[in-house]
Amino acid sequence: MCGIVGYVGTNPVLDILLDGLEQLEYRGYDSSGIAVKCDEEIKVYKAVGKLKNLRDELSSHAYEISKSTMGIGHIRWATHGAPTTVNAHPHTCNCGSLVVVHNGIIENYKELKAKLEKDGCIFRSQTDTETVAHLVAQKYAQTKDLTKAVELATKEIEGAYALEIMHNDEPEKLVITKRNAPLIIGIGHDGYYAASDIPAFIKHTNKAIYLSDNQIATLTKDSVKIQDVDGNEVKPKIEQLPWEPVALSKMGYKHYMLKEIHEQPDVIRNILVGKLHTSDSPVELNEVKLTKETLKTLNRIQVIACGTSLHAAMIGKYLIEDLCGIPVDVEASSEYIYRKTVTNAHTLVIGVSQSGETADTLTAIKQSKAKGSHILIITNRPDSAMAREADSLLSVNAGIEVSVAATKSYIAQLTSFYLLALYMAEIKGSASDETIKNLKSEMLLLPQKIEQILANKDYIQTCARKYSGTRDFIYIARGVNYPTALEGALKLKEISYINATGYPAGELKHGPIAMLDETMPVLSVLMKGSVYEKLLSNSEEAKARNARMIALTNSTDKKLDDLFDYIIRVPEVDEMLSPIIAIVPLQLIAYYIAEFLGKDVDQPRNLAKSVTVE
């Protein structure tokens, strides 16, 4: 989604802004722009499409900007108004003295716009953001103080925002503020950085201040002042970021997605270190702050998430119910927040999010926190807004995930759910010692098994290419792998734009079977265990309708040879752990199809890495 970066200091700003925006590119965007303070005026440059277009636009102006040491930049993911140059940020007030970049949505922009238009403001774009430029400029005309103007304006703004604002009459001040959207200040030796995400400035500094909601920071080249919305000074808390100052790199892989798929064995290893030593030792999850007594008596869990994280949550439900006997409800955050949910102090609420910034999940978490529930967050970003709401924080430490399509963060979320379910089962005594011991010893072997699958990727690539001409794709599974089918289909849909759907195989005959003919590929996630025979029968039903059959299986059963056109074999694994094994070939199938079709694998159209609007 949108990304913002700003700098005020002693170094030339142009490269800082462009490099910073480049580091945020992975979030997904459709236009970009910068504003820089040059001698007597602020200059604004914008372009539609990739950052390269902005660089091209800037190439003929490089000299006039080269000395500037203060500026703001933005990549935009269109919400209000099409991705055009006019709608790209920064936006300006009537006279162009004030510039603003914005992440989020100004919910009352229509009302504000109507008032501002009556006052003579002329709107050029269709964006909600332009209201902020006019509103702050109006307040500035009254106060002649940019910080005060921002303070007054934010009292009238409703919605979510991270804002960076400059005014020509305050040539050394960058004023920033936020509400329900991330904004971080980087403290460099040469000045101050402000960005919506750390990669934008980590190359320059790993010292940072996380701005809280409704705080306003005034940055100059050698000072930072923070105040609350009423003007009271706030003492900044400087934090050391746990990040390496290295640029994002594909490490020789063609795409980040392929690199991230290959990182999965190590992601699991990293999570298990310190938490699961051997199959005989108990799972250690000091991060769970609920007392053992509370865990023993817990009678309800709600899990909220979106997209891929929702699929991890669905598998989490299966594990917790099976091993701990606690009822678990899983719900898409966007549904959870708009109904009367029965949540209270006796409910454990688990929020799952790679980014920790997804607006729907964040709102859902805040709602349940207000109702007194204990909030456990499973996230890849311990520095995120969701992590800050957590009573218990399970940080999955998968490392930054650049590809918009989530892969390694999913495996990391699943691994965390396994640990959590085992941890609770051990405390409750709700599963047999033998079951727990078997699962633990199999978990320790998962990284090697995934490495075996990756070693077989050429075969998976051949199979994927065979199906790259299809317009539709069906994935079927049962039991714990039903969410695997959903996730496999989501991956394919996201990056290849093929209409892929996951079904619980038993549902096929209740409708979807009407879709089947000799053009339709049906991929069956056929893992050995309680539903194997049932799924085999469902696959027979699909075959009888001439569908093009593919099996993803850990069975060596000879009868599969007649039933399926392609068989992708994966290592043997306990049924309960099979989602971690089964998802890897499905990620590869999606990747190879999209790559073969020449799609923009890492930044698929219309998608954003972190969806910070509801």
Residues with catalytic function: 2, 609
Sheet holding 70-76, edge to edge: 41-48, 31-38, 70-76, 3-9, 191-195, 184-187, 207-210, 239-240
Q: How far is the CB of 358 from ligand M6R (least distance, A)?
A: 3
Which is closer to ligand M6R, CB of 407 or CB of 481?
407
For ligand M6R, give the closer residue by CB, 65 or 378. Answer: 378
**What is the Cα–Cα distance from 460 to 454, expressed in whole angstroms?**
9
- What token pair was written down for 194? 């402000």
Residue nearest to ligand M6R (CB): 307
In whole angstroms, how close is the CB of 386 to ligand M6R at the nearest point? Answer: 8
Question: Which of 201, 204, 194 has its CA nearest to residue 224?
Answer: 194
Nearer to ligand M6R by Cβ, of 42 and 404: the residue is 404
90: cis peptide before it, omega within 30°?
A: yes
**What are the residues binding ligand M6R (CB under 6 A)?**
306-309, 353-355, 358, 361, 404-406, 494, 607, 610-611
Q: Which is nearer to ligand M6R, 364 or 542 (CB)?
A: 364
CB of 494 to ligand M6R, least distance (A): 5
Contacts of 569 (CB under 8 A, 6+ apart): 456, 553, 554, 556
Contacts of 141 (CB under 8 A, 6+ apart): none
Q: Decide if 70 contacts 36 (C-beta within 8 A).
A: yes
Return the DSSP state at 508: G
Dist CA 363 CA 361 (whole Å) = 5
Q: Which of 260, 339, 353, 316 is nearest to 611 (CA)?
A: 353
Neighbours of 41 (CB within 10 A): 12
Residue 216 · residue 177 · CB < 8 Å: yes
Report which DSSP code applies to 245.
-
Closest CB 21 distance from ligand M6R, rounded Å = 20
CB of 590 to ligand M6R, least distance (A): 10
Q: How far is the CB of 395 from ligand M6R (least distance, A)?
A: 14
Can you spell out the DSSP letters for 528-592?
SSTTHHHHHHHHHHHHHTT-EEEEEES---TTHHHH-SEEEE-----GGGHHHHHHHHHHHHHHH
Minimum distance between the CB of residue 498 and ligand M6R, rounded to whole angstroms?
15
Which secondary-structure segment (H or E) carries 16?
helix 13-24
Q: Among 170, 167, 148, which residue's Cα sits nearest to residue 97?
A: 167
**Based on CB atoms, which residue is closest to ligand M6R, 140 or 473?**
473
- Compare residues 358 and 392 and give the one whose CB is closer to ligand M6R: 358
Closer to ligand M6R at the Cβ: 308 or 553?
Answer: 308
Query: What does the H/E/C string look like for 70-84?
Result: EEEEEEECCCCCCCC
